Each structure stands twice: as C-alpha cells, then as structure tokens.
A and B are shown apart, each in its own frame.
Chain A
Amino acid sequence: MNTVSRLRTRGIGAFMVLLGLVTALGFGLVSGSSARSSLTFNPVDLSASAPVHVGTLTLPTVIANVVLGLLMVALGVELLVRVPRRGVMARFGAVALLFFLALLLWAVRTTGPAPINFVNVTAVLVGASALTMVLIFGSLSGVLCERAGVVNIAIEGQFIGGAFIGSMVASTTHDFFFAAVAGGAVGGLLGLVLAFLSLRYLSDQIIVGVVLVTMLSGLSSYLNLQVLTPFPQYNTGNLAPNLPIPLLTKIPVLGPVLFDQTGFFYLMILLVAGVSYALFQTRWGLRVRAVGEHPQAAATVGIKVVGVRYANVILGGVVAGLGGVAFMASQGQFQPGYTSGLGYIALAALIFGRWRPSGAVVASIIFGLSLYLSYNLQTFQVPVSTEVLGMVPYLITIAVVSGLIGRVRPPAADGVPYRRD
C-alpha cells in the first residue's frame, strides 16, 4: 500500500474523529442534563404482519449522544492508527449512520417530565429507503455506463422519462410489471440516443447528457399539461403494493425496512448483486472494465469497444428508467420536476462509491437518509435549518472529488471518445 492511500485513509479517520467530537459536544453536552429522547420501533403499518413488539427506548440525550460521539471518535482513531486496507468506506458509512442517529436523538429531545416527542426509527428508515432505492438504481446505471467509459449525466432525464411513462402505463394497465417494462424501455431509448450521439458522432457526452435532461424536463412538463391534466385517469393511484416476505417481516425494525417492500426494492437488490458479480467475476465484466480503462488495448485483443459501450449505455439507461418507475411507484403518480435532481445525486453517489456497486449502495444509503431527514425534520421543530442538512450530500461529494476525504479515481477512459482508427 503506497503512502498516498495511507494518507487518504488517515484523512477519512481524522474527519470521523472531528464528526464524533461535534456530535459529543454539539448534540450531547449542550442538550441539558434533564433532556430525554425517546425512540420507538413500531412498524408504520400496524395492521399488516406486525413484528415482534419492541418497547419504547427512552435515553438521557446527553449520555446517549456523548456515547455515540465517542464511538465515532473511536472508529476514527482506529483508522488513524491501524490504517486498514479494506472496509474504509464501510466504517465511514457506519459513522455517518451514527451521526444521523445522534442528530435524531437531539432533534426529539424533551426537557419536561413526560417524554412527548419521540422518533419512530422504523418509520425514518422505511421513508429513507424509498429515496435510497431510487439513488441506487441511478448510481447502478452510472456504474454500468462509466465502467465502459461513457459518462451518463442524463440519469436525471432517464428518471423523468421512466416516471412519466411508468405512471401512464400503470394507470392504464393497473400492472406494475408493464409499467416497469415501459419505463425501462424509455430509459433504454434515452441511453441509445446518448450512445448514438456520443459513440457514432463523437459528440461531447457531458453536453449531450445535460441537454437530454433539459429536454426531458421540458417534454415532461409539456406532456403533463397537454395530456395528463385533461386526462387525469392516466396519472392516478399508482402506489406500488408492498410484497411482505413471510416470517422475515417479523424481525423488529429490519423486517419492515428490508422485507416489507415493493417489488422494485427486491428488484434493486437483485440488480446490485447481479451487477457486482457480473462486473468483477465474469468475462463480460472484465471486458467492460477493459473498455473503460484502455479502449485501444481492449480493441487490440479483439474486444468490440463501440459495441460494448452501446450495450452498456443502453443497459444503464434501462436501469435508470426502472429507477424512475420505482420513484413514481413510491409517490403514487407523476409530477413534473419532482425528481428535483435525484439523478445528479445518484451521479454523486456513484463517484462517492468509487464506481463500485457496493460503494454506490453505501453512498446511496447515506445520501438517502440525509435527504429524507432534510425533507422531514421540520416535523420535529428543529431549531437548526433543515437546508443545512440538505446540503450534506453535495458537500460530501465536493469533498470527495477534490480529495479532501479520500481520493477517487474514475475509469481512465471515462468520457473520452473512442475512434476506431
């Protein structure tokens, strides 16, 4: 292991220590000694397959947050001293989760005799899981495209297209399978446009992607006014039903979060597993990565560079389109502009996750939680501005790409056009 990556790991460790100290002091010691925080673990939907009952947990805020903060400091110190080779991002993810937990405890603290405020941990995780799922779809799409050397900045546009078509198809057929097929097809079509313009005509991939997003956002609000407003029956009642897995849903907290989800959630898990396996364990994956790192060398050994790129960009488009349908199915209908940059955050999750499916999952969980909390912390009457929390994904990404928290290295030929000569 070279000195640069050791330095990078130490940087992450130092950042984690800092975050731990902020937690212990800012959310812990300042809270006041009489403050109490309550956590409940009930499932959101009490009627369906209720899990084993877990009682309310009431903690003294000061002690709880100081303990959490010290735990974060300990994890950071461990990185600083041991400088492990693997699992750095997993540790960072754990610290981020602890940070959000401390923030929640602090947000719901009550100083009166009887605890009135409480936070339902299960509800928070279930709520965040919908956003996380969409981000994972998007960043998986990015993994597929960028590992093959094509920057797909149009994920946001593929979300919009998938959500729009998905809503229309789901409304008319009342079948989410057809909605997923149609949404995936539209995403794939947009991927084809991106591939066609950037591979055949060597247009600038980033520019084409940005303009595609603009076009889709304009087209979707046009179609919304022209088609969906006069015919509201094409855009209604599309909340995907949950498909609880028997027995597993009984597990407290984890049951409702992981095993009482829509079909899209399970599909997402299968996709993550499939893409990680295929990309790193199969011949196909080796070829894709070769094309993304050194297309000339790949061509020399007989790999069809342009063909591989076409296939991956279209496949990535399909995955992002599915993400759009999944988002629509978690909201119940299509609304213009309601993806509000989720595609770009997915791109950020891809970079934060270092172009790996597993990393993208960790990043999406962190980003999904912080987004969910920033949308929903108002309900807890938090004195801190929720806008600040909403900045977290963006600031983390800026820190990551500039090497302040670790250095990322994209596929070497990412975004570089390939000429066959």
Chain B
Amino acid sequence: MSESPVTEAPVRASRRRWWHRFTTRSPLLVTIDALILGFVVGAVVIITTTASVLDAWRAVFSGWSAFPHACKITGDVVGSAYRAMFTGAVVNPQIFWHAVTTGHGWTVALTPLSETLTYAAPLIIASIGVGIAFQTGIFNIGANGQAILGGVAGAYMGSLVHLPTFIHLPLTLAAGIVGGVVVGLVPGLLKAYTGAHEVIVTLMLNYVVAAVLIFTLLSTVLQQPGQQNDISRNLEPSAQLAPLFGAASGLRVNWGLAVAALVVVFAWWFLERSSLGFDFRVTGANPQAARASGINARAVIVLVFVISGGLAGLAGIVQLAGTTHYLDGGFLIGNAGIGFTAITVSLLGRNRPVGIVWASLLFAGLGVGGRAMQAATGIPLDLATVIQSAVVLFVATPVLVQEIFRLRQTTAGEVRLATSGWGS
C-alpha cells in the first residue's frame, strides 16, 4: 500500500530507517492513525454518555478516594464494549479454543467471522464501484439507489422466472447489474451532455429510486401473494447464492464472497492493466491532460457511471440473493444502506481494490460487532457508524492526522481532491 519509494537500506541504518518511516507521513500510517483516532472518538462518546461512568466520575468531586474506582469503571465499560465488538465480529477465543479441544461447537465459533464476511461481500462490490468513480474524479453518491434498483430488477428475474440454477443465477445477477446501470446512466448522460453535477443528480435519484422500490413492492406482480404490506416474493432457490459451506453448516457466508473476489480481480486488472482503466485514471488525475491527449471525456463519464452503477446494482442483488432472499420497504434504507457505507469504505481504502477489501472487512466487522456489543453491553450499535465516519473524516484530512501525531511531512502542500465543486 505504501507509496514511498523503498530503497536498499544498509543493515546498520535499518533500525533508524524503520523509526523514520514510522514517524513520517505515509498513506498507510495515516490510515492506521485515523483508525486509532476513530476508536478514541468512540471511547469518548461511550464515556460521556454512559450513566455508570458518569456516576463514578461524579463521586470524584466529593473525594479523591473515588478516583481509582472511576478509572476502573471507565476502563471496564470501554474495554467490555470494544471486546464485545471484537468477539462478535472476528472470533471469541474461549469458544474457539473450546471447539479446537473438543471438536464440537465449530458453528458457534465461526459464526462471527461468517457474519462479517457475509456483510463484507456486497460492501466490497459496491465500494469498488464507488472507488472506480472516485479515481476518475467522479463522486457517485447514488450507489445506494443503484443498488436498490439492482435488487428490484434482480427480484423480478429471480422470483418470477423459473429456470435451472446454472442459467437462472447468472441471469438474476445480470438483471441486478442492468438495474444498477439504468440508474447510473441518468447522472452519467446528464453530466456528459448537459454538465449537470453528478452529486446533485445522484443524491436526488436515491430518493426517486426509494419511491420506485415502494411502488414496485406494492404492485401485485412482485408483492408476496397474500400480503398487503410492502414485501416481495421470495427468490426462487435456483436464483439464490447458496451458503459457501452448505446449508447444513449453519453459517450464512455465501457464494456472494466469490462474486466479490471476482470483482476485486476484475477491478485490479481494469485499473492497472486495461487501457480504458488508464484513461479513467488520467481523467481523474488531470482532466486537461486527458482532453489534450485525445481521451473522449464524454465517453469516459458515461462509462464510469455504467461500471460504477453496474457494480452497485450487483452489490444490491448479491445482498438480496445471498442473505435476505426477499425485498421489503427497508431494503438498504438509512444507515444500513451499503451504497452509503461504500462511500466511506472507498475513501478509507483510498479507492484502490486491495485497500477497499481491507476497509470493507473492517467496516463490516464494525457493523456486525456493533450488534454483538449492543446485545452484550447495551451500548447502541450506532456507535459503529460514529466510529466509521470519524475514521473517514480523519482519513480525508491527512494533514490534521499528521499534526496530531507530529509526523514528518513528505509531500509538501499536497492537495488531493476527489470531487469538483459545483462552480467548476
């Protein structure tokens, strides 16, 4: 991940060089420091809002003797919250050791990891779509709308058509991609031919698509028979992404993870090896240079939205075919919208495929672990959203991180813009 050129180091100087790297600003170091700061922000939020902690500190005002107790309570509350988050998202060492020694309880031991991977799969796909757009200098806030329409299109194909799996599943996924492309083409064509700013258009389209979702769910075609509510038919089993280790394993992680892996490979090849991907990155780095070298700016804008929207649509259908298997009015709404999380994931992963994989795993883990934390300690899972957005605020402001951690500066006066203002 590190961008700084690594030179052959003399053995003697290697230790000092290591320390030098550790205190010099680099993208990886900024990311790690931003993560630390994000969890500090989360801890501050917990401390200032938990009654037991506040009561313990109130006692300190009556006498210093309560000070050690207050410190202990604070540490306990924050520690137990983050511990529950970790054991809920990755692995509980005790349960895992129990499974290793007795050979039983593997399902329980692996469930946290399985849940994290289940949530990460569509997140990776959507974030790579957003990341490719960012690398081209385009901010696709509409990934959530594109994912929702991908889910709707996939639901039509997956629940109303009857075919064998080997053809039905690919067709369902393709329908999801088409749904996303259709929504993505609107801002793409409008930006290319009228100059409309994609941020406004995609923001507005999110609400239009949300209305379309409710509209289709209440139409008799897609509505689950015998239901009056906004709930769709179930996907046919032939259109579902099967559990990766079989239904008997009890683990929800599904073949959507394989789809995500394919998307990562495709994205890496596309951005690093294909000529179109090169055009994209040149356009993002320097639009004037791109135009001067004969890159068709309009075609690039439209194609970015085709690819970005298509991937968001694929994320929507992977979410649908992998986990819920039916649509309802709450599909990808609000904080749960993977299209919105994808924006923060992509920024954390610096818009590159490999970075996005790590960032997706982290944010999926925060979400899954947040739920476990709420169950274990009563601290609301929305803390995960707070930590996520704090981390991204710091990542988006590398100079602030550099000043907080007193890092040496390497790139003087560097300004990296991901979007353009309305005015330009």
Interface CB pairs A-B, < 8 A, 18: A151-B422, A207-B347, A212-B389, A221-B385, A222-B49, A222-B383, A230-B51, A341-B207, A347-B203, A387-B214, A398-B204, A401-B190, A402-B195, A402-B196, A404-B194, A410-B423, A414-B422, A415-B420
Q: A151-B421, A226-B379, A411-B423 are in contact. Are A401 and B211 (CB under 8 A)?
A: no
Return the contact of B204 from the options A206, A217, A224, A348 (Cβ within 8 A): A348
In the complex, what residues of A have CB within 8 A of residue B119's CB? none
The yes or no answer to A211 lying at the interface (CB within 8 A) is yes
Do the beta carbons of B417 and A417 come within 8 Å of each other? Answer: yes
User: Contacting chain B: which of A70-78, A171-179, A195-203?
Assistant: A195-203
Q: How far is the CA of A211 from the CA of B34 in the complex (A)?
A: 14
Q: How far is the CA of A374 from the CA of B397 in the complex (A)?
A: 40
In the complex, what residues of B have CB within 8 A of residue A205's CB? 421
Would you give the shortest CB distance from A296 to chain B, in whole angstroms?
13
Interface string of A206-221 (1 = CB under 8 A from B): 1110111011011101
Q: A151-B421, A211-B344, A416-B424 are in contact. Are A217 and B397 (CB under 8 A)?
A: no
In the complex, what residues of B have CB within 8 A of residue A416's CB? 420-421, 423-424
Do the beta carbons of B396 and A203 come within 8 Å of each other? Answer: yes
The yes or no answer to A403 lying at the interface (CB within 8 A) is yes
- Which A-chain residue is minimally distant from B420 (CB atoms)? A415
In the complex, what residues of A have CB within 8 A of residue B390's CB? 215
Do the beta carbons of A214 and B396 come within 8 Å of each other? Answer: no
Q: How far is the CA of A125 from the CA of B422 in the complex (A)?
A: 33
Q: How far is the CA of A221 from the CA of B418 in the complex (A)?
A: 29
Interface contacts beyond A215-B389, A417-B417: sample of 10 additional A-B pairs, CB < 8 Å, sorted by A: A201-B397, A207-B418, A211-B393, A214-B385, A218-B335, A394-B204, A401-B197, A403-B196, A415-B422, A416-B424
Would you give the shortest CB distance from B199 to chain A, in whole angstroms?
6
In the complex, what residues of A have CB within 8 A of residue B51's CB? 230
Return the contact of A398 from the options B205, B218, B382, B385 (Cβ within 8 A): B205
Interface string of A123-163 (1 = CB under 8 A from B): 00000000000000000000000100101010000000000
Q: A197-B400, A201-B399, A398-B196 are in contact. Are A210 and B343 (CB under 8 A)?
A: yes
Do the beta carbons of B423 and A413 come within 8 Å of each other? Answer: yes
The yes or no answer to A254 lying at the interface (CB within 8 A) is no
Name, among A201, A212, A410, the residue most crowded by chain B CB atoms within 10 Å (CB to CB): A201
Return the contact of A218 from the options B215, B382, B397, B399 (Cβ within 8 A): B382
The yes or no answer to A223 lying at the interface (CB within 8 A) is yes
In the complex, what residues of A have CB within 8 A of residue B340's CB? 214
Do the beta carbons of A403 and B194 come within 8 Å of each other? Answer: yes
Interface string of A339-355 (1 = CB under 8 A from B): 00100100110010000
The yes or no answer to B160 lying at the interface (CB within 8 A) is no
- Which A-chain residue is minimally distant from B134 (CB atoms)? A207
Q: A214-B340, A227-B49, A387-B211 are in contact. Are A146 and B195 (CB under 8 A)?
A: no
- Which A-chain residue is minimally distant from B193 (CB atoms)? A402
The yes or no answer to B45 lying at the interface (CB within 8 A) is yes
Do the beta carbons of A202 and B422 come within 8 Å of each other? Answer: no
The yes or no answer to A337 lying at the interface (CB within 8 A) is yes
Interface string of B389-424 (1 = CB under 8 A from A): 110110011011000000000000001011111111
Would you give the shortest CB distance from A393 to chain B, in whole angstroms?
8
Name, among A224, A226, A348, the residue most crowded by chain B CB atoms within 10 Å (CB to CB): A226
The yes or no answer to B139 lying at the interface (CB within 8 A) is yes
Report, nearest first, the 9 A-B pairs whose CB atoms are least far apart. Answer: A415-B421, A218-B385, A215-B389, A402-B196, A414-B423, A222-B382, A394-B204, A225-B380, A387-B211
Would you give the shortest CB distance from B70 to chain A, in whole angstroms?
19
- Which A-chain residue is minimally distant from B186 (CB atoms)? A398
Do the beta carbons of A146 and B422 come within 8 Å of each other? Answer: yes
In the complex, what residues of B have CB within 8 A of residue A348's CB? 200, 204
Q: A203-B397, A207-B347, A387-B212 are in contact. Are A217 and B335 (CB under 8 A)?
A: yes
Do the beta carbons of B417 and A226 come within 8 Å of each other? Answer: no
In the complex, what residues of A have CB within 8 A of residue B389's CB? 211-212, 214-215, 218
Q: How far is the CA of A390 from the CA of B213 in the complex (A)?
A: 13
A-side interface residues, number (CB < 8 Å): 57
Do the beta carbons of B393 and A388 come within 8 Å of each other? Answer: no
Would you give the shortest CB distance from A7 to chain B, in whole angstroms?
13
Q: A206-B419, A218-B385, A416-B424 are in contact. Are A197 and B199 (CB under 8 A)?
A: no
Would you give the shortest CB distance from A176 to chain B, in whole angstroms?
25
Return the contact of B334 from the options A337, A347, A397, A417 (Cβ within 8 A): A337
The yes or no answer to A297 lying at the interface (CB within 8 A) is no
Do the beta carbons of A218 and B386 come within 8 Å of each other? Answer: yes
The yes or no answer to A54 lying at the interface (CB within 8 A) is no
Do the beta carbons of B423 and A415 come within 8 Å of each other? Answer: yes
The yes or no answer to B157 lying at the interface (CB within 8 A) is no
Chain B interface main SS type: helix
The yes or no answer to A391 lying at the interface (CB within 8 A) is yes
Do the beta carbons of A385 and B49 come within 8 Å of each other? Answer: no
The yes or no answer to B50 lying at the interface (CB within 8 A) is yes
Q: How far is the CA of A412 from the CA of B200 in the complex (A)?
A: 17
In the complex, what residues of B have CB within 8 A of residue A226's CB? 49-50, 379-380
Q: A197-B397, A341-B207 are in contact. Are A387 and B215 (CB under 8 A)?
A: yes
- Which B-chain residue is minimally distant from A404 (CB atoms)? B194
Q: A207-B418, A211-B396 are in contact. Are A149 and B49 (CB under 8 A)?
A: no
Q: How far is the CA of A227 from the CA of B380 in the complex (A)?
A: 10
Q: How far is the CA of A310 from the CA of B45 in the complex (A)?
A: 27
In the complex, what residues of B have CB within 8 A of residue A218's CB? 335, 382-386, 388-389
In chain A, positions 365-421 with a C-beta closer than 8 Å to chain B are 385, 387-388, 390-391, 394-395, 397-398, 401-404, 410-417, 419
Do the beta carbons of B200 and A219 come within 8 Å of each other? Answer: no
In the complex, what residues of B have CB within 8 A of residue A414's CB? 421-423
Return the contact of A204 from the options B50, B418, B423 (Cβ within 8 A): B418
Would you give the shortest CB distance from A138 to chain B, in whole angstroms?
14
In the complex, what residues of A have CB within 8 A of residue B197's CB? 401
Return the contact of A217 from the options B347, B385, B420 (Cβ within 8 A): B385
Would you give the shortest CB distance from B23 to chain A, in whole angstroms?
20
Q: A387-B212, A415-B423 are in contact. Are A397 and B204 (CB under 8 A)?
A: yes
Do the beta carbons of A390 and B344 come within 8 Å of each other? Answer: no
Q: A201-B400, A388-B215, A417-B415 are in contact. Are A344 and B385 (CB under 8 A)?
A: no
In the complex, what residues of B have CB within 8 A of residue A403's CB? 194-196
Do the beta carbons of B385 and A206 come within 8 Å of each other? Answer: no
Name, among B50, B197, B344, the residue most crowded by chain A CB atoms within 10 Å (CB to CB): B197
Q: How far is the CA of A413 from the CA of B418 in the complex (A)?
A: 16
The yes or no answer to B201 lying at the interface (CB within 8 A) is yes
Q: How far is the CA of A401 from the CA of B50 in the complex (A)?
A: 46
Q: A201-B397, A415-B423 are in contact. Are A391 and B392 (CB under 8 A)?
A: no
Q: How far is the CA of A197 from the CA of B51 in the complex (A)?
A: 32
Return the contact of A221 from the options B190, B201, B382, B420 (Cβ within 8 A): B382
